[in-house]
Amino acid sequence: MRVFVASLATETNTFSPLYVDRRAFEEAFYCPPGTHPDTPTLCSAPMVAARARAKTDGFTLIEGTATWAEPAGPVSREAYESLRDEIIGQLRTAMPVDVVLFGLHGSMVAVGYDDCEGDLLAHARAVAGPKAIVGAELDMHCHLSDQMVASANLLVAFKEFPHTDFLARGEDLVDRCLAAARGEIDPQPAVYDLHRFAAFMSSREPGRSFVDRMLAMEGRDGIVSVTIAHGFGAADVHDLGTKVLVYGDSEANRGTAEALAERLGKELLSWDKTAQPYHYPPEEAIAYAASQPRGPIVMADRWDNPGGGVAGDSTVMVSALLAHPDIPAAIGALWDPVAVSFCRAAGVGSEISLRFGGKAAATSGPPIDAMVKVIGVTDDLLYPFEQSVVSLGPAAAISIGSLDIVLATGRAQTFSPPVFTKLGIDLSKKKIVVVKSSNHFYAAFAPIAAEVIYLNTGGPYPYDLSKVKLEKVRRPFYPLDPEPARTEAAQ
**What's the pLDDT score for residue 484?**
60
Counting other chains too, the contacts that 206-210 makes at CB distance below 8 Å and 24 or more residues apart are 206/271, 206/275, 207/161, 207/275, 210/267
pLDDT in tens, 446-474: 999 999 999 999 888 887 777 788 999 99
Residue type, 240: L
Per-residue pLDDT averaged across 108-135, rounded?
Answer: 98
Quick one: what percent of the chain has pLDDT higher than 90?
91
pLDDT in tens, 132-188: 999 999 999 999 999 999 999 999 999 999 999 999 999 999 999 999 999 999 999
Task: Name the residue among 133, 159, 155, 130 with its Cα closest to residue 3.
Answer: 133
Per-residue pLDDT averaged across 118-133, rounded?
Answer: 98
CATH number for region 2-274 = 3.40.50.2300
pLDDT band at 485 (very low <50, low <70, confident <90, very high): low
**What's the pLDDT score for residue 233?**
92
Per-residue pLDDT averaged across 190-207, rounded?
Answer: 94
Measured CA angle at 346 (ends 343, 349), to 5 deg:
90
Mean pLDDT of the chain: 95
**End-to-end distance of the chain based on CA atoms, in angstroms?**
43
Per-residue pLDDT averaged across 377-392, rounded?
Answer: 94
Measured CA angle at 398 (ends 397, 403), to 5 deg:
110
Whole-angstrom Cα Rg for the chain: 23
- Is it the case that residue 387 has pLDDT exceeding 60? yes
**Which strands, in side-by-side order, build the sheet including 187-193?**
187-193, 243-249, 223-229
Name beta bridge partners: 397. Answer: 376, 406
- Is it the case that residue 273 has pLDDT exceeding 90? no
β-strand pairing of 60-68 with 279-280: unpaired
- pTM of the full predicted structure? 0.91
CA distance 448 to 417: 9
Let me know: does 331 contact 403? Beta carbons within 8 Å: yes
Residue type, 295: G
- Is it the case that residue 486 has pLDDT exceeding 70? no
